[in-house]
Amino acid sequence: MVIRVLFVCHGNICRSPMCEFVFKDMVEKAGIKDKFVIASAATSREEIWGDVGNPIYPPAKAELKRRGIGATAYTDFNGKRAVQVTKRDYETYDYILCADSANIRNTTRITGGDPEGKIRLVLDYSDRPGQSIADPWYTGDFVTTYEDIIEGLTGFMRYLREEGVLDV
């Protein structure tokens, strides 16, 4: 069984791509990347011009590189471009994990609802459910954002194992 995970934030240039590539790094290091499909998307089109999205914001790339992420073919984020979440994504993904509550509202609106309870916050899997990943667009603090992401994704991985979704 393949577990499909979509990370969502407002523009798909900071928090959600950081989540995407941090999680790819985690599953690759755990030797289970073949068990996942991992992607990220935006709720807005602000970072998408025509059909071409902007790349990951340079300070977000720098933080990922500083943490050793992006060095493998699987975690190489250089080709990542912003895309917008779609209604079809709801059927495609098992988990749609958002950076903040506005992302949940907008993702739910775009996908037409959340009857299966797939749309959650990344930090819902941590000891801080209901909280947002710090938004570095406003703070410039990519370290805190990275730490929030690690906290949420470590909890998400634990959840997958405890629930028997991930059998490793």
Catalytic residue among 25, 89, 100, 135: 135
Compute CA distances 63 → 21, 28, 141, whole Å.
11, 19, 10
Map tokens 């009857």 to a residue.
115
74: left (phi over 0), alpha (psi -120 to 50) or beta: alpha
**51 assigned to active site:** no
Place of tokens 């073919």: 73
Q: Which of 14, 15, 25, 148 is catalytic?
A: 15
The CA distance from 38 to 69, in Å, is 15
Question: Is 19 an annotated catalytic residue?
Answer: no
Phi, psi values for residue 37, rounded to 5°: -120, 120
- Is 94 a residue of the active site? no
- In the chain, which residue ranges form alpha helices assigned H by DSSP? 15-29, 58-66, 87-92, 101-111, 136-139, 142-162
Give me the catalytic one of 9, 14, 19, 98. Answer: 9
What positions carry a catalytic annotation?
9, 15, 135
